[in-house]
Each structure stands twice: as C-alpha cells, then as structure tokens.
Chains A and B, each alone.
Chain A
Amino acid sequence: KNQVEQSPQSLIILEGKNCTLQCNYTVSPFSNLRWYKQDTGRGPVSLTIMTFSENTKSNGRYTATLDADTKQSSLHITASQLSDSASYICVVSARQAGTALIFGKGTTLSVSS
C-alpha cells in the first residue's frame, strides 16, 4: 500500500534554531516528492518539488533532500523564524495518473521567541 509517514508529529523550537523534518514513503512507482507549508487556517503552499534524479533542492531557508534508494526525504529549516510556525506536509506522487498524490499527515512546527 502506498504510504507516506512523517516524523515527528510535532516539534517546538526556539527562534533562530535549525530543525529537520523527516518523511519516509513506500510509494511505487515513484515520480516526485513535494513539501508543502500550511499555515493555520490557510491552504497548503508548495515549497519544493523533487524528481527521482534530484537529491537536494533549496527554497530560501528551506532545503529538502531526497534519497530515492532508502525512500526518505528531509526538510531542513535554517535560522527559524516565528513565521515558520506551520504544518509541513510531505506529498509523494506515483508515476501513474497525475492525480495520484499521497499526502502525509504533516509535522506541526511551533517556533517560539
């Protein structure tokens, strides 16, 4: 069964600190992996999309990595800010119909001052 597991479920860090969120998947055949940021009460917004051949992609202070062999991805946030407080969702696409997106449950990040 295609699944996406994220850890930790929630995380609290101090402003200015770095953190790493994890995503493990069992989706096959793999097409691409996406990270979304969802602020409370808002819709998800895309941070990165990585295909099989990409192992690192950055978007400002966000850096995503992908290891397609171990089926793991991480999202590293550098020098966190209060505005980084949100849910981060890992989404994996299967290489079939373009609608085959499998969503993780998300990691809730709280950045405190």
Chain B
Amino acid sequence: NAGVTQTPKFQVLKTGQSMTLQCAQDMNHNSMYWYRQDPGMGLRLIYYSASEGTTDKGEVPNGYNVSRLNKREFSLRLESAAPSQTSVYFCASSAHAGQVTGELFFGEGSRLTVL
C-alpha cells in the first residue's frame, strides 16, 4: 500500500534552473496538495487541487506552478529556482477538500537545495 509517493527524494539545483516534483497517490482521493516545510516554521500551502481539473493558489504560490495531470498525479514545477526555494516539499492528499474531518495523507518529502 504505497499511499502518496513523491519523486525525487533529493535534488540540488543551481539558481535559475527549472525542475518538476512529481506526486502520485493510489487511494483514489479527489484532493491533492503541495506544502513546503522550512526550519522554524509550520508547513505552508503552496497550491492545491480540490478535484481533478482544478487548481488553486495557497499561502505561498509565487515562483511555482502546478499541474493536476489526472486523478492520481499532481506535479509542482519551479520554472526558475531561487535560493529562497530551498526547502522540504510535501505532497498530500485527502478524500475531499471540503470534508470537515478529512484525513490528510502525506508523502515522504522531497528535499530541494538551490545553490
């Protein structure tokens, strides 16, 4: 039972390079999310997709783009990486975004360093 799978687990980029973080879930969930986690801060929402075909900005969307490829997959793209984007990125999924007590399942994280 894989749950939420993220790739890559580690990545080092140079300033200005681009890359895409991949996320897939096998729980038939409707909603998917991208968070970033920085030292001394709580997780912050970058983008989310409440259902297949929709995406919306979260708290810190600048510098990122997302694609909900299908119900299973939600990717996060950095078009021109900056050192401020050095962080640990978590993908998560839930059955329905609007569900009051909807369980949120996280992937193992992707550790990105931008030099």
Q: A99-B33, A99-B48, A105-B40 are in contact. Are A41 and B109 (CB under 8 A)?
A: yes
* B2 CB within 8 Å of chain A: no
Report B-chain residues with C-beta under 8 Å of the C-beta of A106: 42
Q: Nearest Cβ distance between residue A37 and chain B, in whole angstroms? A: 11
When the two chains form their complex, are residues A49 and B107 in contact, meaning their CB atoms are under 8 A apart?
no
Given A43-B90, A51-B100, A105-B40, does the pair A99, B106 have CB atoms closer than 8 Å? Answer: no
Of A31, A46, A97, A98, chain B has the most CB atoms within 10 Å of the CB of: A98
Q: A99-B45, A103-B44 are in contact. Are A31 and B108 (CB under 8 A)?
A: no
Q: How many Å from the CB of B43 to the closest CB on chain A?
A: 4
- B101 near A99 (CB under 8 angstroms)? no
Q: With an 8 A cutoff between CB atoms, is A102 at the interface?
A: yes
A1 interface residue per 8 A CB criterion: no
CA–CA, A32 and B104, complex, Å: 13
| A89 interfacial by beta-carbon distance below 8 Å | yes
Roughly how many angstroms separate A49 CA and B105 CA in the complex, as a whole number? 13
B58, B97, B108: which contacts A98 (Cβ < 8 A)?
Answer: B97
Q: Is the interface of A mostly helix, strand, loop or mixed?
A: strand
Task: State which of A43, A93, A97, A101 has its C-beta within 8 Å of the C-beta of B107.
Answer: A43
On whether the beta carbons of B102 and A98 are closer than 8 Å, the reply is: yes
> Chain B 78-115, CB within 8 Å of chain A: the 1/0 string?
00000000000010101011111111111111000000
Which of A32, A43, A44, A102 sits near B100, CB closer than 8 Å?
A32
Q: Contact: B31 with A98, CB < 8 Å?
A: yes
Whether the pair A98, B99 counts as a contact (CB closer than 8 A) is: yes
CB distance from A28 to the nearest CB of B (A): 15
CB distance from B22 to the nearest CB of A (A): 15
Q: Cβ of B24: which chain A residues have Cβ within 8 Å of it?
A: none
Which chain B residues border A104 with CB–CB below 8 Å?
Answer: 42
Interface members, chain B 38-79 (any A CB < 8 Å): 40-45, 48, 50, 56, 58
Interface residues of B (CB under 8 A from A): 4, 31, 33, 40-45, 48, 50, 56, 58, 90, 92, 94, 96-109
A residues apposed to B, CB below 8 Å: 4, 31-32, 34, 41-46, 49, 51, 89, 93, 95, 97-99, 101-106
